[in-house]
Structure 1
Amino acid sequence: MTAKIKIEQPKIGKELPEANFQEIYYKDEPYLDACIIANCSIDRESIDKIVLSQVVFKNVTFSDVSFRNIELTDVIFDHCDLTNADFMGGAIHRVEFKDSKLLGINLSDASLGNVLFESCNLNLSAFGYASIKQVKYDRCSLESADYYECKLKKVAFDACRLNEVNFSRTPLKGIDLSSSTFQRLTVSLEDLNGCEVSPDQAIGFAAMLGLTIKD
């Protein structure tokens, strides 16, 4: 078993003032810091290089948003809906996504460090070409997610659903998949070197390679 991965939690003050996302337009540069945004919808927004620091989003729906090259530091998304949100090229550090819907979110070319995804729906999510370090997926659904040519280091998939995930050209050395479930993955034999799997998963990979397991 791999060592337990330690994730740094967001550094956020306990008493944050409530804010309106529209306040961002009253500033010289697109940023928000040290506030909570709750029980609202952010619709059809397209902002490049938005910076968010020490912000809590609670019960917020992001609809048709494009925040490419976003910078997120010390941010929490709690019971949010980020379906099809575009965070391509983002820098995401000390961030938590809790009980949130991230169906089809675009995190390709992003840099993720000390990030927790807890009880989230990440089906069809895109992480292609991303750098992912010290990231934990805890009880998440990642069916048909795309990790094409990613760099994974100290990444945990704990009790996740990984069916049809694409790990093409992504080395899985040191990655423990043994507590997660899947019927099929897209991954090459060389990239499986050093990956930790359960006995049943090993049989499944053998079948994918065309081997016949005899009792």
Structure 2
Amino acid sequence: MSKTLKIQTPKIPTSLTPFDYNDIEDSYINLALISDCTISQEDVEKVRFEEVVFRNVTFLDGAFRFIQLTDVIFERCDLSNVDFTDGIIHRVEFRDSKLLGLNLADATLRNVLFENCNLNMGSFGYADLKEMRFENCLLRNADFYEAKFNKLEFKDCDLNDANFTGTRLKGVDLSTCKFTHLNLSLDSVAGCIVSADQAIGFARLLGLEIKD
């Protein structure tokens, strides 16, 4: 995994119009700042956000299947247990946010950054992830079952008990991350980059006995 992985950042204009989400009238929102509010019990499909910043927003029991996010930033938000299944997410940043149990199964993600986020129990099963970075994130029990990785970086993350079964880890660098247990399949670990200490743990995970 290259240490110079470059991710396109969201293209956000310097001036955004404050927007009250409760005033939403259609499924397309752009050039908006949504801040200091709670969005509760939403169940919508194919809503689209472009050039939008969410700041200090809490989502409660939200289901946004097939959501489209382009050039969007989430800052200090709570999206715990929100459903973004089948979403299309491009040039998006999640910063300093609580994303416990966020569901991104079957989603397509391009140029996405998760930074200083709690993604424990997050779901990425069958998702297509390309040009992405997880930095300083909690990913305990996160599910990447049969996900597709391309130019993906994990930096200083807690991956304990994460599930990578059926996911090819070739070129993925886990050497700065911490974990005592991962769920893996034998054919998925070839080419994965780990530290010397982690390599011993990987061998044990795969059923090898280490002789002192």
| Distance across 2 between alignment mates of 1:138 and 1:101 | 14
Cα distance in 2 for partners of 1:131, 1:80 equals: 24
Question: Is the counterpart of residue 99 in structure 1 residue 96 in structure 2?
Answer: yes
State the alpha-carbon separation in 2 of the partners of residues 125 and 66 from structure 1.
Answer: 15
1:132 pairs with one of 123, 126, 129? 129
- In structure 1, the residue corresponding to 2:90 is in which secondary structure? strand
Name stretches of at least 5 consecutive residues in structure 2 with no aligned partner: none
Which residue of 2 is the match for residue 176 of structure 1? 173
The 5 A counterparts of 1:111-190 are: 111-190=108-187
| CA deviation profile, 1:120-144 (whole Å, cap 9, x unmatched) | 0000001000000001000000000
Aligned counterparts of 1:61 and 1:53: Cα–Cα separation in 2: 19
Instruction: Give the TM-score taking structure 2 as reference length.
Output: 0.98
Please tell me whether the aligned partners of residues 100 and 120 of structure 2 are also in contact (alpha carbons under 8 angstroms): yes
CA distance in 2, matches of 1:98, 1:210: 38
- Residue 107 of structure 2 aligns with which residue? 110
CA RMSD of aligned residues (A): 1.0
Q: Check conservation: 2:29, 2:48, Cα contact below 8 A.
A: yes
TM-score of the pair, normalised by structure 1:
0.96
What is the CA–CA distance in structure 1 between the aligned matches of 2:208 and 2:106, rounded to whole Å? 36
Amino acid at match of 2:19: A
Alignment coverage as a number of residue pairs: 212
Q: Deviations over 1:19-73 (max 9, x none)?
A: 1112322x3xx11100101100000011100000000000000001100000000
Which residue number in structure 2 is paired with residue 6 of structure 1? 6
Match 2:54 to one of 54, 57, 60: 57
- Unpaired segments ≥5 residues, structure 1: none
Greater percentage in strand: 2
Distance 1:102 1:211 in 2: 35
Write the letter of the residue equivalent to 1:42.
I
SS of the residue corresponding to residue 18 of structure 2 reads coil
**Which structure 1 residue ranges, 4+ long, deviate > 3 Å from structure 2?**
none
Paired amino acid for 1:136 = R
In structure 1, what residue type is equivalent to 2:46? Answer: K
CA-CA distance at 1:189 after TM superposition: 1.7
Contact 2:182–2:205 under 8 Å retained in 1? no
Secondary structure of the residue aligned to 2:11 is coil
Q: Distance in 2 between matches of 1:18 and 1:179?
A: 39
Deviation at 1:3, TM superposition (A): 3.8
- Paired with 1:15 and 1:109, the residues of 2 have a C-alpha distance of 33
